[in-house]
Structure 1
Amino acid sequence: MTPAARSAHPAAAAVLEFFGSTRFAKALTVTILATAFGSFLIRATLGWPGLIAIVSALVVFAALSFAGRWDRLDWHGLLPISLLLFLGWCVLTVFWSKYVPSSLNGIAYLLAYAFLGVYVAVVRDLIQIVRALGDVLRVVLTVSLVLEIVAGALLDAPIRFLGITGALSTAGPIQGVLGTRNMVGFVALLAVVTFAIEWATRSVRRGTAVYSVAIGLAAIVLSGSPVTTAVAVVTALAAGVLLLLRRAAPETRRGWHFVLLALSLAGLVVAFLMRGRILEILSTRREFTYRLEIWRELWRLIELNPLEGWGWAGYWRSSVSPFFALDVIGNRSHTSALNAFIDVYFQTGLVGFVIFVGFVGLTFGRAWVLAASKKSIVFLWTALVLVVLIATSMAESIMLVEYGWLMLVICSVKAARDLSWRVRLRRADEPHEGVPAE
């Protein structure tokens, strides 16, 4: 709202001033993150209508907060073009979707979380996002461990409506308030990365930092998730490489990036050439065999609509075709393809897959360069969060819905605003950051 409009409408100006205040933005950011990471708990207690009502209210509040901050925001290159392209293609898939009502619901849900992610990324600094996420994940993991203690030690009985099996007495696996052990492991690993950055930047007291890292590591171990174990190794290697790159001389850093890229591509080529042997080794694990069955069946469906896909759905609906036919695999009800990239290929076709890979690749590349070159260690958070997201998404479709999608959008916007060709379009007299530090 312009100054003239504010003077003409003082009541509206007062309302917008409240919604545009720093205190409101801080509270709304925490609420958005808490809703995203507590989505399973909300669905288990209030059902889908309750969760949708909460998310809808958050979208309205975020829009009002944007309106209250309109004249303080820098709109140059606000959104990554690759993100807009992916969202646009997902919207277009409704025109040939095999399940139009489900597609409309899934697209609305995708856009809602994308909008909330953009809001968080634009109105809060990176360290403020890390602090807000740290506070939320401390509560989520603490509540999860407390409920597991109650179910596994005190009651010695499962908490069925939350899916908690009460296996803590046998050292897990635990499910907490996140639904499955893989989700507990993912969130715990994301939390450890966040808590470590908090500790390194001295954003929290030492006692709080020690407690946070301890519960994060405990949740990883108790989750008993082989997926999280593998992702933790990859994340640790990425962290080590980034720390070494940060110590390298600026004039040699670019060369090291190319060396790492070449080694990564060589590793992918070797993995492709040895795919038969790798699949033979992995097929000894029941969970991988189960995933492989789903992927093979999905590939048959992909071949029916290879270019445009079947239509965006987000979470699979077991009540519509072809999703209900996949429930015969493992005699389970499936909500995803258990691989974000195959899921995108299935739902949006080759076009959507290429756009999505480009979007994720650009986001990761920008975040990696920033983490290696920026002086502040907080930039490590964006790169390592993306490592956790991408690696986990090879075995779970975590990047496509709720907190996984929210974190991907936040990281993409933050990385793009700090390292985008459109920054050059900004006038010299305009500030570099979208919002001053608060």
Structure 2
Amino acid sequence: MSRTDRDPFAPASPLPAAAGANARARAHASDPGTRRRRTLAVLVLIAALGGDAWQSLLGWPAFVVLVAALAAACLVSLVRGRSTRTLPLARYSKPLAAFLVLCTVSLLWSHYPGATLLGVLSQWLTAIAGFFIAVSLSWLEILRVLGTALRWLLGLSLLFEFVVAVFVRHPVGALWLLAPGQKPPPDYQWSEGNLFNGGALQGIVGNRNLLAFLVLLALIVFVIELVERTRRPLPSILWIGVALLEHALTRSATVLLATIGVGFVLAVALVIRRVPVNKRLVVYPFGIVGLLGITIFTLNLSDQLFPLLHRGDNLTGRIEIWNTVLNLAWQHPVLGWGWVSYWAPWAEPFKNLIVIDGTVYLQAHNAWIDVFLQLGLVGLFVFSCLIAATIIRSWWMAVDRPGPVVGVETPYQAVALLPLLLLAALIIQSLTESRLIVEGNFLLLVLLASKVKLDPLPLGPPPRAVR
């Protein structure tokens, strides 16, 4: 039956069906098992998206134990859940599975098998957590747990910076040690106490770019929550204000440009929603030209923007990093050196590969170059297929009208834009950071790639339409 066919056994009015669906949703939300899954999802997101904070606070050994425990809890929930047992193989994301398998089999040709084993284990633990959230929660529940996790991260960041600025009154170094007797570089400060002196805010993650990216994710989630009315309006508006304040205080040039890019994607999606399906092919070229124009404009703007934010116009040395990594990648261009995710500082060729001002860099600062280095052209192709498939499904979800309720057309939902906007932010950041293939960003990629395949459209009326 097509999406527009009417069910002959459905009620004549959509309101009783909508009210029944709303009642079932309330009953589902009050179920103890559902509450436990949502709580676990919030803990997983806080640990993954704020990984640098817990590494700085607890140290790497304790952080590894925390990650393993959360992943084990997710795996137990998946095994005990009925949804995974009845899920056909066709509903899984095949590009995602192919990428994970390729990372694993790279053990066969890895130049650093011990580091690859650790990287593969980390990748699978992260993937299990992301898949757990995708399978266990609906889109509205995912929106809510993301909002809760990001509120904690932004709130703790502001509180942390306030304590350092008011009570400590001097820079605070990270507590973790990379190895016994080895201290972080002198210029690596967990917080510089810049809340009131006009300097860049770093938050609990210890880096203004990472905090600014969390703020960008939060703005996407908080605004959608406000439109969908899944939370009360006043707290939503206040948290949007907090996010905007932290965005300004981080003074991150790269995330400012990413925010412009996400805004452009949102504008194009909203325009496409108003265009009849048979005329959309005419509009797409204008969107592509506009995207290229925005890219050229921001690249030219960076020459003036970056110095104003006390940043170099070469993306803080990233061009030199990219050249070094590409020269290394072309030594094994087909299958790469072997998967490792974060570079292992004790293994060749990563040992002292990139050292700038005494700081050892453990990533290529570009996810695509990092994939090319570790998995070669084969891995780059598989990774590109994963991103492309997720983009296409997210785009369809964002611009296609949801299915009718008992034959009556329903309005567009704001939550349908969530995967597209999150993915746009992730991809834009992947051009200057390798975070897309590690920790919280990879978890979000797994979550989105799995969920848009499992549940491509939010069905039924949005919460604000149900009285």
The answer to whether TM tops 0.5 is yes
Alignment of 1:16-415 (within 5 A): 21-70=33-82, 74-76=86-88, 77-161=90-174, 163-257=190-284, 260-261=287-288, 285=312, 288=315, 290-374=317-401, 375-415=412-452
List structure 1 segments (4+ residues) > 4 angstroms apart after TM superposition: 71-74, 261-264, 277-284
Q: Report the AA paired with residue 48 of structure 1.
A: W
**Cα deviation per residue 1:361-400 (whole Å; 9 max; x = unaligned)?**
1111210121011422101011000010000111111111
Q: CA deviation at 1:234?
A: 0.6
Per-residue CA deviation, residues 327-373 of structure 1 (Å, 9 max, x unaligned), is 33443211211111111111111100111011111111210121011
- Tell me the amino acid that sits aligned with residue 434 of structure 2: S
- Unaligned stretches of 5+ in structure 2? 1-30, 176-189, 402-411, 461-467
SS in 1 for 2:174: helix
Write the distance in 2 (CA, Å) between the matches of 1:358 and 1:136: 29
Secondary structure (helix, strand or coil) at the match of 2:59 reads: helix
Structure-2 separation of matches of 1:197 and 1:62? 27
Q: Distance in 2 between matches of 1:63 and 1:298?
A: 35
How far apart, CA to CA, are the structure 2 residues paired with 1:181 and 1:96? 37
Greater CA deviation, 204-213 or 46-55? 46-55
**What secondary structure, in the 3-state scheme, does the structure 2 residue paired with 1:323 have?**
coil
- Structure 2 distance, partners of 1:131, 1:257, is 32
Q: Secondary structure at the match of 1:326?
A: coil
Compared with structure 1, are the counterparts of its residues 68 and 258 closer, same or farther at alpha carbon in structure 2 (3 Å cutoff)? farther
| In 2, Cα distance between equivalents of 1:210 and 1:160 | 34
TM-superposed CA distance for 1:322, in Å, is 1.1
Could you tell me the percent identity over the aligned residues? 30
CA contact (8 A) 1:127 1:378 kept: yes
Matched letter for residue 114 of structure 1:
A
Q: Measure the CA separation in 1 of the matches of 2:304 and 2:236.
A: 39
What is the aligned partner in structure 1 of residue 23 from structure 2? none
State the match for 1:11 in structure 2. Answer: none
Aligned residues: 398
Q: Return 19-28 or 207-216, whichever deviates more.
A: 19-28
CA distance in 2, matches of 1:132, 1:203: 11
Aligned partners of 1:293 and 1:329 also within 8 Å: no
Does the C-alpha gap of structure 1 residues 62 and 220 become closer, same or farther in structure 2, counting only changes over 3 Å? Answer: same
Matched residue type, 1:409: V
How many Å separate the matches in 2 of 1:91 and 1:238?
34
For residues 247 and 295 of structure 1, what CA distance do their matches in structure 2 show?
Answer: 41
Q: Is the 8 A contact 1:294 1:329 kept in 2?
A: no
Check conservation: 1:345, 1:353, Cα contact below 8 A.
Answer: yes
Aligned to 1:21, what secondary structure does the other structure show? helix
Distance in 1, matches of 2:360 and 2:387, equals 28
> CA–CA distance in 2 between the matches of 1:255 and 1:62?
45
* Inter-partner Cα distance in structure 2 for 1:281 and 1:307: 39
Partners of 1:332 and 1:287 in 2: how far apart? 18
Deviation sequence 1:294-332 (CA, Å, 0-9, x none) = 111111101111111111111112222111232334432
Could you say if the C-alpha distance between residues 192 and 20 of structure 1 is closer, same or farther in structure 2, counting changes exceeding 3 Å?
same
How far is 1:280 from its partner?
9.1
In structure 2, what is the Cα distance between the partners aligned to 1:93 and 1:224? 39
Question: In structure 2, the residue corresponding to 1:176 is in which secondary structure?
Answer: coil
Q: 2: distance between equivalents of 1:172 and 1:218?
A: 13
Change (3 A) 1:280 1:305: farther
> Which piece of structure 1 moves more, 361-370 or 322-331?
322-331
Partners of 2:380 and 2:446 lie apart in 1 by: 17
- Find the counterpart in structure 2 of residue 429 from structure 1: none
SS in 2 for 1:170: coil
Partners of 2:69 and 2:172 in 1: CA distance? 29
Contact 2:303 2:313 in 1 (8 A): no
Q: Are the equivalent residues in 1 in contact too, given 2:253–2:306 (CA < 8 A)?
A: no
SS at structure 1 position matched to 2:191 = coil
Q: Which amino acid aligns with 2:117?
A: L
Q: Residues 130 and 198 of structure 1 are in contact (CA less than 8 Å); yes or no, is this contact kept in structure 2?
A: yes
Q: Report the residue type matching 2:453 in the other structure.
A: A
- Report how far residue 259 of structure 1 moved: 5.2
- Higher mean C-alpha deviation, range 286-295 or range 236-245: 286-295
Alignment RMSD, CA only?
2.7
In 2: Cα distance, 1:352 partner to 1:240 partner:
32
Does the Cα contact within 8 Å between 1:290 and 1:330 map onto a contact in 2? no
Distance 1:330 1:350, change over 3 A: farther
Report the Cα distance in structure 2 between the residues aligned to 1:319 and 1:281, rounded to whole angstroms: 39
- Structure 1: runs of 5 or more not aligned: 1-18, 421-431, 434-438
Q: Look up the match of 1:10.
A: none
Comparing 47-56 and 189-198, the one that deviates more: 47-56
**8 Å Cα contact 1:20/1:65 also seen in 2:** no
TM-score (norm 2): 0.79
Cα distance change of structure 1 residues 176 and 281 upon mapping to structure 2, 3 Å threshold = closer
More displaced 10-residue stretch of structure 1: 381-390 or 25-34: 25-34
